[in-house]
Structure 1
Amino acid sequence: MPQVALDKPVPDFERPATGDKTVRLSDFKGKQHVVIYFYPKDDTPGCTTEGKDFTEQYARLGKQGVAVLGVSRDSLKSHEKFKEKYGFPFDLLSDEDESLCTLFDVIKMKNMYGKQVRGIERSTFLIDKQGVLRREWRKVKVPGHVDDVLEAIKEL
């Protein structure tokens, strides 16, 4: 499967999402920029903080014509609980088969308690209204990250 590359169109994808929806990248084409952020696991400290940070800036992002999508390998049931618990105003996409994670090349070997495990490397991607990947952030550190995304959107 091809992987995304900066300044190239992102292949259309379709994933199940919260709210009993199916989300396609093509749904946003010509209408909104898309921020898609990949996180390791629902309801863990860093992932919760990142979701809350995107929630706090959601109105500003919306005014700039940006849709936000969160993605992890968790089930839709887990996503629904996570979204409801923290009141996230954006959809969470379930990628249990890792097809979206593979497309964006975010599955990496990580050290956890001294063992090597496969997991999602926290990453964010900014796709413009034409479906072209304009920015990527890999190995994201949560504090201040959403502010960096907001700055990059101004450049579009």
Structure 2
Amino acid sequence: MPVPEFSAAMTGNQTFTLSDFRGKNLVLYFYPKDNTPGCTTESIQFRELFAEFQKSNTFIFGISRDSIRSHEGFKAKLEMPFDLISDPEETLCLMFNVMKMKNMYGKQLRGIDRSTFVIDGAGTLVKEWRGVKVPGHVTDILDFVKTIT
């Protein structure tokens, strides 16, 4: 399925534009919130395998509803070698259908369902994972990306 063109603000005072990455694979991982345990663990795992993703012509971007300021702090704290995309208006969250109702401490809250999408160099969505559990997930993505390069 082709992914429609989109642009969004990201760390480093940059703008992400999908078409800028034609010819390269992309991993877009949606996570609920900066500086939370699961999101921190997932981001560290992407950081640790970053060089392996690069060898497979693959760029990684994390996406949440947090502000650029929050993302900058989270990225610096974890020394992430990739950028984070800010989606406070939920434009990308809605495009990729990752918003859902969650139970947090007995209350119903609307939030991001941890999900990952791989887009190939032609701009086609080739694989998605929804309702992700963090352990082993990043390795699974890397294994998949190696099959499409």
TM band (smaller chain): over 0.9
CA distance in 1, matches of 2:142, 2:66: 27
Taking structure 1 as the reference length, the TM-score comes to 0.94
CA distance in 1, matches of 2:77, 2:8: 22
Q: Which residue of 2 aligns with 1:108?
A: 100
Q: Does 1:44 align with 2:29?
A: no
CA distance in 2, matches of 1:78, 1:147: 26
- Deviating beyond 3 angstroms after TM superposition, the runs of 4 or more aligned structure 1 residues are none
Match of residue 89, structure 1, among 81, 87, 112: 81
Structure 1: gaps (5+ residues)? 1-7
Q: Does 1:80 align with 2:79?
A: no
Q: Which residue of 2 aligns with 1:12?
A: 5
Task: Give the paired residue count.
Answer: 148
The Cα of 1:94 is off from its aligned counterpart by 0.2
Match of residue 21, structure 1, among 14, 20, 27: 14
Instruction: Among all aligned residue pairs of Structure 1 and Structure 2, give the percentage whose two residues are the same amino acid.
Output: 57
Q: Does 1:135 align with 2:102?
A: no
The Cα of 1:77 is off from its aligned counterpart by 0.3
CA distance in 1, matches of 2:129, 2:123: 17
Taking structure 2 as the reference length, the TM-score comes to 0.98
Q: Secondary structure at the match of 1:155?
A: helix
Deviations 1:101-156 (A, max 9, x none): 00000000000111111000000000000000000000000010011001111221
CA distance in 1, matches of 2:41, 2:18: 25
In structure 1, give the amino acid aligned to 2:33. Answer: K
Once superposed, what is the RMSD of the aligned Cα atoms? 0.5
Q: Secondary structure at the match of 1:42?
A: coil
Q: Which residue of 2 aligns with 1:66?
A: 58
CA distance in 1, matches of 2:51, 2:101: 35
Structure 2: gaps (5+ residues)? none
